Structure formats: C-alpha cells, structure tokens
C-alpha cells in the first residue's frame, strides 16, 4: 500500500479493472514512423500521380495490396506494378469514436474496406458527411488526396452514385 506522499510523485496508478499498479509515462510521446520503403517507393510516387498501385508476382501471379517488394507466396523478388481499378463496393465499415492516441486530434472517423472490381480489398478511411448514408455493398471509389490537416497524400473510400 502506498502512502499519500508516495502517490504524489510516483508515476504509478492503480489499474481500474485489476487493482494492480500500472506505471504511467507522464511525458507526451510524439511518434514518427520511419519505415524503409525502397522496394515499394513507386507506390508513393504513383499516389502523387493520382494512381493506386499494387504488385503482381511475375513468378506465381499472386497480387498484393498493399504492394509487396517480395512475394510472400513464392519468395520471388520479380514483381511488377499494376494499377488498381478505382471502383468497387463497400464491403464493411465502422465508425471510430474511441481513437488511438495519434488520431486524437481528428473528429470521429469512418474506417472501411472496399472490394474493388478487380478483386483487391482496400482498407481506408471512408469520406462521408453522414455515416448513416453508408450501406454495405454500395458503390464506392478510391479517391487520392491529402487528409485534412496533413500534408501527406493518402487514399480514401468515397461513396458514388450506383
Ligand atoms: Zn510469387
């Protein structure tokens, strides 16, 4: 049992579920991801050109989105780039109200999976003013643009007229 003077300066609090002591880092953490992408750099260049690319294994024919520099199926490094069809249907979606720390600054957002007409599944934010308009199976397209408040280009799922 901690006495009150300890409680004031130890970065430890009691877990509400288990009652066990939990260490709490009191510093704010700014995370910057640095992931080597030399094998799939073309994917990002193509985003800048408004295109969404996948890779296809020249050896076994398996197709990958997000693109892979090496084929997980046959381990070949002989991959070719293919452009995705932008249109498809909304497979599923969810409204994210409890956000991870790095997305706290955003209002609630919608994550969805689109099944594109050429068979690829694409996980992305769904841009839609009213999530009640969304229906599984509805026609959607992939839209490439900057996310509000960010300088980076990404891809999004947007509903379109059937
Ligand atoms: Zn392969």
The per-residue DSSP string of the chain comes to: ---HHHHHHSSEEE-TTT--EEE---S----------GGGHHHHHHHHTT--EEEEETTT--EESS--SS-TTT----EEEEEPPSEEEEEEEEEE-S--GGGTTSPPEEEEEEEETTS-EEEEEE--S-GGG--TT-EEEEEEEEPTT-SSEEEEEEE---
Give the residue among 63, 42, 74 at the shortest CA–CA distance from 122.
63
**pLDDT recorded at residue 57:** 97
For residue 70, how far is its CA from the centre of ligand 1 (angstroms)? 8
**pLDDT recorded at residue 31:** 74
**pLDDT recorded at residue 161:** 84
**pLDDT recorded at residue 116:** 97
CA distance 107 to 139: 25
For residue 79, how far is its CA from the centre of ligand 1 (angstroms)? 8
For residue 39, how far is its CA from the centre of ligand 1 (angstroms)? 15
**pLDDT recorded at residue 39:** 83
For residue 46, how far is its CA from the centre of ligand 1 (angstroms)? 23
pTM above 0.85, yes or no: no
CA distance 21 to 14: 5
Q: Can you give the pLDDT of all 162 residues of the chain as single tens digits?
A: 555 555 567 888 888 889 999 888 777 777 787 878 888 899 999 999 999 999 999 999 999 999 999 999 999 999 999 999 999 999 999 999 998 877 888 889 999 999 999 999 999 999 998 889 999 999 999 999 987 777 889 999 999 987
For residue 58, how far is its CA from the centre of ligand 1 (angstroms)? 7
Domains and CATH numbers, the chain: 36-83 (no CATH), 85-162 (2.40.50.840)
CB 143 within 8 A of CB 84: no
């Amino acid at each position: 049992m901690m006495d009150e003077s300890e409680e004031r300066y130890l970065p430890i609090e009691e877990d509400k579920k288990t009652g066990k002591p939990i260490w709490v880092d009191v510093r704010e953490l700014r995370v910057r991801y640095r992931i080597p992408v030399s094998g799939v750099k073309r994917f990002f260049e193509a985003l800048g050109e408004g295109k969404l690319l996948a890779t296809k294994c020249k050896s076994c024919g398996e197709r990958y989105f997000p693109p892979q520099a090496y084929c997980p199926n046959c381990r070949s490094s002989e991959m070719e780039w293919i452009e995705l069809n932008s249109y498809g249907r909304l497979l599923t979606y969810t409204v994210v109200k409890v956000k991870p720390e790095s997305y706290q600054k955003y209002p609630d957002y919608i994550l969805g999976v689109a099944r594109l007409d050429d068979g690829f599944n694409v996980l992305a934010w769904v841009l839609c003013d009213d999530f009640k308009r969304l229906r599984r199976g509805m026609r959607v397209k992939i839209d490439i643009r900057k996310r509000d408040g960010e300088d980076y280009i990404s891809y999004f799922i947007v509903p379109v007229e059937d």
